[in-house]
Amino acid sequence: MEIPGYQIGDLIDQGGMASVYRAEQLSLKREVAVKFLSENLLHHPLARELFANEPLIVAQLNHPKIIHIIDKGITADGKPYFIMEYVKGTTLHDLVQDKPLSTSEKIQYIIQICKGLAYAHRNGIVHRDIKPANIIIDEENNARILDFGIASFCQDNLGIDESKQVLGTAGYMAPEVKTNSAAASILSDIYSLGILMYEVFSEDFSQEFDVATLHQHPKLNKTIGKIVSSCVQTQSDLRPSSASVIEQIFLQLLKGAHLAISQKAEAERDLSSLSKNFLLLDVIKETSYSSVYLYEKQKNHHLIVIKKRNQDNSGLKEAKLLSNLKHPNIIHIHGTASNQRSFIIVMEHMDGGSLSDRLLTPFAPENFFPIARKICLALQFAHQNRIIHGNLRPSNLLFDQTGEVKVTDFGQSEHYQDTIEAENWYRPQKTEAPSPALDVFSLGAIFYHMLCGEHLTWKNTHVSWKESYSELPQVLQQLLLKMLALDPAYRYQQMAEVISELDKLSASPKSQLKPKAKSLTKRVPTAKRSLGYWLKQGFFILLVAVVVTYLQIHWFFPELKQLLLQTLSEWLQLLATELNEAST
């Protein structure tokens, strides 16, 4: 087996679907892992389809608990493969059998698995083969999920009758999947996670699992037994609704035992008065500028979030105002406090992650409109109470387990160098003071990301409209164009205007919301035209360009200029192609 640019080494692992080898990426002199589809599945259409699908899916998953994909291809002799990062460590299956682990250590691994799995599920990705052998524990004691080899977007149609194929590992399959792989869902992954937890906590890998007798296992305590039992219910809707729910349960069991002493000390600094009534469960985010902590009220076990900002009191005024106001789509503020070093905000806990966790693929219009409208209603309410957000982006739009969305972090400045969003793609390149019009622009940039599946890009301080934008329905293009006008005078001035437009669009015929035909740069074969015809077309386009320049549209309608120039560029490319063909 040879792959250009790689030196294949020893066999690491071999399973029913694939073989994994250690290798060296010669250009970067680094170790990688190469997965090859098994010989007996080379001519199995569904296996080839899913194997080819894995790197495309996992390459989009950006999470520290999921193994990253580097490259993919097919060998000279026709064997599919993909390259992934090589992680030194051992599988959870082997670790549990080879090394005595405390209950606390096992819980820490389960929490990490839940974090990675919840992230995949928020993007509609079902793993389909969760088991201890598919979890790597690296040398820094981090759990990493691998082998999305039979994962797929649950809404995808692979073009194959999945009902006739049974995929996964028998001992971990949910009942509904054993007879129909098309029934695989987030809840079937929860079932598999339940079996994984049973094996890890009981240290019993005999595959003789019985729900009725699991509480009798001597190494499975009553509390954990209840969690496992809830996950392996035969009826899928009786299982926990997400991996995040399981994560929260275990965090409350662990009571912060997994946190480093330094983390606890930092959390208690400026928050010592809370220690009598609240218990630190987890550090959600920690940077040099701010930290976000998950606490439990000891009296009633309710969860709250405390955000502490260092040397920056932006957002304090807005938080104080919002603590006296209520809106179903604005995060509830329980209280605020401040001193010379920092200020804190105590707020409700949202357990469904942020919008930034859900942007791997574009939103369908029917999923986009309800979320978009609720965000607009929240901002309209805030603006009516003279509260400007000023820094909207996907990470401060939060969800709960029911899918309800809420806006947070009003008035807070952000420090992008410490976050995944290293660049702020959600504000104009030209600086604007906080205003309702600025919030409209930022929300337009978020809508663009939701609908196009990619963030805004810029060229010479103007929006660079991508092909994904040009393929949106015309009515959605017009909405975005007006929200993203560089001159605030040409934007929607109030959120009420955006809400009104969203309501019109959501009620419009489905035919208006169908994606447009591909861009003109993707040429559709047409009847052969004469050279004279294309010269006339070229002359007309150049005449339009002269008129655009003469009228100085740049000063009055910058967005129209950008759109016209993009269209001009596409036509010129098409013209060049046709002229070349005509001349030959």
Cα 130 to Cα 192: distance, rounded to the nearest angstrom: 6
0.85 surpassed by pTM: no
- Edge-to-edge strands of the sheet including 80-85? 6-14, 18-25, 30-37, 80-85, 69-74
Which pLDDT belongs to residue 250?
A: 95
CB 329 within 8 A of CB 378: yes
The tokens describing 13, both together, are 């692992």
Q: DSSP letter at 524?
A: P
In this structure, are strands 143-145 and 278-286 parallel, antiparallel, or unpaired? unpaired
Whether 520 maps to a domain, the answer reads: no
Q: Check which CATH number belongs to the domain holding 168 and give it.
A: 1.10.510.10
- The reply to whether 440 and 362 lie within a common domain is yes
- The reply to whether 54 and 185 lie within a common domain is no
Which of 318, 348, 378 is the endpoint of a domain? 348
Whether 321 maps to a domain, the answer reads: yes
Whether 44 maps to a domain, the answer reads: yes
Which pLDDT belongs to residue 218?
A: 82
* Residue 14: how many other CB atoms lie within 10 Å: 12
Cα 285 to Cα 339: distance, rounded to the nearest angstrom: 21
Whether 200 maps to a domain, the answer reads: yes
Task: Write out pLDDT tens, residues 83-129.
Answer: 889 999 999 999 999 989 999 999 999 999 999 999 999 988 888 88
- Four-CA torsion 143, 144, 150, 154, nearest 10 degrees: 90
- The reply to whether 426 and 335 lie within a common domain is no
Check the CA dihedral 485-490-496-498 and report its sign: negative
- The reply to whether 450 and 549 lie within a common domain is no
Count the domains in the chain. 5
Which of 226, 253, 280 is the endpoint of a domain? 253
- The reply to whether 405 and 292 lie within a common domain is no
Which pLDDT belongs to residue 552?
A: 56
What φ, ψ does residue 174 adopt, rounded to 5°? -70, 150
Q: Check which CATH number belongs to the domain holding 328 and give it.
A: 3.30.200.20
What's the chain's length in residues? 584
- The reply to whether 244 and 95 lie within a common domain is yes
Check the CA dihedral 508-510-511-515 and report its sign: positive
What φ, ψ does residue 50 adopt, rounded to 5°? -70, -40
CA 346, distance to chain mean position in Å, is: 26
End-to-end CA distance of the chain: 44
Whether 525 maps to a domain, the answer reads: no
Cα 461 to Cα 464: distance, rounded to the nearest angstrom: 9
CB 549 within 8 A of CB 471: no
Whether 518 maps to a domain, the answer reads: no
- For residue 469, the enclosing domain spans 355-513
Cα 355 to Cα 57: distance, rounded to the nearest angstrom: 18
Low-confidence stretches of the chain (pLDDT beneath 70) = 16-17, 40-41, 44, 46-58, 148-168, 207, 270, 272-275, 415-423, 516-584
- The reply to whether 79 and 119 lie within a common domain is no
Characterize 121-135 residue by residue with b for buried, 16 or more Cβ atoms within 10 angstroms of its Cβ, and e for exposed.
Answer: bbbebbbbbbbbbbb
- Nearest CA to 383 among 336, 426, 432, 330? 330
- The reply to whether 480 and 401 lie within a common domain is yes
Cα 422 to Cα 395: distance, rounded to the nearest angstrom: 12
Residues 6+ apart with CB under 8 A from 3: 23, 34, 73, 75, 81, 83
Which pLDDT belongs to residue 506?
A: 92
CB 57 within 8 A of CB 72: no
- The reply to whether 403 and 507 lie within a common domain is yes
- The reply to whether 53 and 116 lie within a common domain is no
Which of 64, 85, 106 is the endpoint of a domain? 85
Whether 524 maps to a domain, the answer reads: no
Which pLDDT belongs to residue 217?
A: 82
Cα 198 to Cα 224: distance, rounded to the nearest angstrom: 9
- The interaxial angle of helices 495-506 and 436-452, nearest 10 deg, is 30
Which pLDDT belongs to residue 415?
A: 60
- The reply to whether 393 and 509 lie within a common domain is yes
Is residue 422 classed exposed, middle or buried when 0-12, 13-18 and 19+ CB atoms within 10 A define those classes?
Answer: exposed
- The reply to whether 148 and 219 lie within a common domain is yes
Whether 521 maps to a domain, the answer reads: no
Which pLDDT belongs to residue 317?
A: 93
